[in-house]
Amino acid sequence: MNRNEAKARAEELRRLIEDANKAYYQEAQPFISDREFDEALAELERIEEKFDLKSEGSPTLRVGGEPSSDFPNVRHPQPMLSLDNTYNEEELRDFDRRVREILGKIDFTYAVEMKFDGASIRLRYEYGKFVLGATRGDGETGDDITRNLKTIKDIPLKVTGGPDILEIRGEAYMEKEAFVRLNEYRDENGLQPFANPRNSTAGSLKMQDPREVARRPLKFFAFDLLLEDQSEYPTQVSKMELLKELGFPVSKHFKVCRSIDDIFDVIDEWNEIRHELPYEIDGVVVKVNEDRYRDELGRTSKAPRWAIAYKFEAEQASTVLESITLQVGRLGKITPVAELKPVQLAGTTVKRASLHNEDEILRKDIRPGDTVVIEKAGEIIPQVLSVVNPDREGRSASFSMPEQCPACSEKLVKLDDEVAWRCINPQCPPQVRERIKHFASRDAMDIDGLGEAIVEQLINAELIETYADLYRLKKEELIPLERMAEKSAQNLIDAIEKSKEQPLERLIYALGIRFVGKTVARDLASHFKTMDQLMEADEETMTEIDSIGPKIAESVALFFGNEKNIELINRLRDAGLNFEMSESETVSNLLEGKKFVLTGTLPTLTRKEASEMIEQHGGSTSSSVSKNTDFLLAGESAGSKLAKAEKLGVPVLDETSFFEMIGKQ
């Protein structure tokens, strides 16, 4: 491999890893196995090292996912590092050899723990009170999800005894049976099932409504304790004992080992019993037990040198791939599915497996009639790993994605930087439910009473096929529906009528255009003022707006370039919805031309209220800090946006300063 080939391969791996990270951390829907991800990361690291291609933004330097903009960001007092992974005995013995070379003849021990397959979180207690809970994020900064974590019954809200300040690291997780029940519920309600318990946990923790999180069966194990004075609890064992005394759940599966051979005995033992556990584990974690030696061993940019994770091999089986079918997801994503000759794997009969996308099929050269190796990712969702004999004669033709949607025959589209093909027809049957539910949701048209069950009934009764059909419903059509008396039918009709008054930005958001969230919808409405001007805008014009990049502009242009979408929008126009931005709420032009970014939790204002005030005084808001930002309005727990604003020299306002700026007493 020469340098040019290395650069091309490195870019290919970076794209794969970034897409996998996004699917794993943000969408909770992974498309490659942990092992494939680890192997891609290791290959990228080797290429970057050999050809001096390491760059600041490389995924080899990152711990996990970016902190979310949906929650306040918090900086960790000590980095929440990831662990180096290994799948084989030789690499684990190399870890032991390196530790012993650095420590010399020092007598030390290893603490061996189960590696829980969940989501790492941080808890902070001050004088016995639970005051903060956060995700790992990028290792340096995470999301403040305190309200959500307070719903997990395993996490005590108060502790008695122990040090004044407690920083606890642990794992939120979901038990296997609870995960199966959750996916059954999601499947019955037309929702995309989660890939595995780990991703259902991550998805649950990122929900905006703590009441919904409370309905999820999440649990917690503590696995580490950070103290201002470590001398009283100098080992991993002593810290785990203290955690247990304080009332935190800790795993009973914990061993102290003096040699690498002892560790392998534990690995064999736990590998045998892992299928009997009520929760998922995907390996073991090996740590130097004594804290005083950890500083000497040090760390890399993303992992400590005093700990390592040994991962179990996933169970595999071989079978014949009989055909490839296509599934249409709730947002139009087309997913190829392998229809398999039934085979036993990890205690269940497997008949189908996800093939993720066209690129994955072509990369692995998977064809109908092939004998393939399958495994269960996270021991839950089966996936095809490879073809047993790709050189055999008489194989069927290579897979090719059809041009039309298998559900509605609409032409499929593919954005430039995406691997997935999509159907953007709003009347495509598998997408209808989700589009209508989104349209009626609180942040969109806010149609009170139009919940999931009612939407389902309306569709099943063939009263609606699209969200535009809502505006021609009649009370007498609703009354025969289950649990729909005359009064509730009238209330729903009134709520639908009232939704016509929603501002333009909410209507744009309600249309369900991919990548167009609330902030982008508001920016589009503020810039174009009317739906008609937005519909006529080209991609270049849209990217003049700070918050609109090429990907968003392309998605918006695709949406408005679809005739069926235009037909729906015209029906909404005929129904009397608001197609122009109202100027009546303008209070002053004190902030005219000024661009604000909001971060953290303000003392009295919600972000929505603050954004509305800025716009009422002629200003605008954006979701990200840039050199074009005029002010950062920052509240408590401001994170990465504050750091970036300070770096760029952007003025930072607190709520009081902001009120003074707009003349509010």
What's the sign of the alpha-carbon dihedral 97, 100, 105, 107?
A: negative
Say which CATH topology domain 73-311 has. Answer: D-amino Acid Aminotransferase; Chain A, domain 1 (3.30.470)
Q: What local confidence, expressed as pLDDT, does residue 663 receive?
A: 83
Q: What is the dihedral of CA 543, 548, 552, 557, to 10 degrees?
A: -40
Distance CA 641, CA 609 (A): 19
Q: Which entry of 7, 54, 105, 115 is annotated as an active-site residue?
A: 115
Residue written as token pair 């794992």: 171
pLDDT of residue 189: 52
Rounded Cα distance, 418 and 421, in Å: 8
For 166, the 3-state DSSP assignment is: strand
Helices 452-460 and 429-440: crossing angle in degrees, nearest 10, is 140
Query: Can you read off the two tokens belonging to residue 452?
Result: 């999931």
Instruction: Supply 183's token pair.
Output: 């996916």
For residue 3, give the amino acid letter.
Answer: R
Handedness of CA 468, 472, 474, 480 (dihedral sign): negative
Domain ranges in the chain with CATH number 1.10.150.20: 429-575
Q: Say whether 115 is catalytic.
A: yes
Q: Which residues contact 589 (CB under 8 A, 6 or more apart)?
A: 617, 618
2 burial level (CB within 10 Å; 0-12, 13-18, 19+): exposed
Burial letters for 608-629: b for 16+ Cβ neighbours within 10 Å, e otherwise?
eebbebbbebbbbbbbebeeeb
- Residue 66: predicted pLDDT: 55
Closest by alpha carbon to 632, among 57, 624, 336? 624
Token pair belonging to 413: 């589209």
List the alpha helices (DSSP H) in 586-662.
607-616, 640-648, 655-662
Per-residue pLDDT at 44: 87
Binned average pLDDT, 10 residues per bin, the chain of 665 residues: 85 82 60 73 84 75 56 89 89 96 94 94 95 92 92 92 92 90 66 75 85 87 90 93 95 95 95 87 95 91 90 86 89 89 83 88 93 75 85 90 93 80 85 88 91 89 94 94 90 96 94 84 89 95 84 90 93 96 71 88 83 86 85 85 89 92 80
595-662 CATH fold:
Rossmann fold (3.40.50)
- Fold of the domain spanning 316-387: OB fold (Dihydrolipoamide Acetyltransferase, E2P) (2.40.50)
Domain with CATH 3.40.50.10190 in the chain: 595-662
The closest alpha carbon to 31, from 534, 533, 381, belongs to 381
Comma-separated ranges of CATH 1.10.287.610 domains in the chain: 3-61
pLDDT at 59: 74
**Domain covering 3-61, topology:** Helix Hairpins (1.10.287)
Question: CA-CA distance, 421 to 400, in Å (whole number)?
Answer: 12
From the CB of residue 409, how many other CB atoms can be counted at a distance below 10 Å?
A: 12
Cβ-Cβ contacts under 8 Å for 202 (sequence gap 6 or more)? 24, 25, 28, 119
User: Rounded to the nearest 5°, which phi and psi values hold at 210?
Assistant: -60, -25
- The tokens of 540 are what? 């270049």
Q: Tokens 């995924």: give the residue.
A: 59
What CATH code would you report for 429-575?
1.10.150.20
Residue 640 CB contacts under 8 Å (≥ 6 apart), including other chains: 67, 73, 141
Cβ contact 76:142 at 8 Å? yes
Q: Which residues are CB-contacts of 447 (< 8 A; sequence separation ≥ 6)?
A: 439, 440, 470, 492, 495, 496, 499
For CATH 2.40.50.140, the residue range(s) in the chain are 316-387
Instruction: Give which of 129, 138, 141, 217 is closest to 179, Cα–Cα.
Output: 217
How many Cα atoms sit within 13 Å of 386 on the Cβ side?
A: 6
Secondary structure (H, E, C), 498-552 = HHHHCCHHHHHHHCCCCCCCHHHHHHHHHHHCEHHHHHHCCHHHHCCCCCCCHHH
Q: Token pair 């304790």 is at which residue?
A: 225
Cβ atoms of 150 and 210 closer than 8 Å: yes
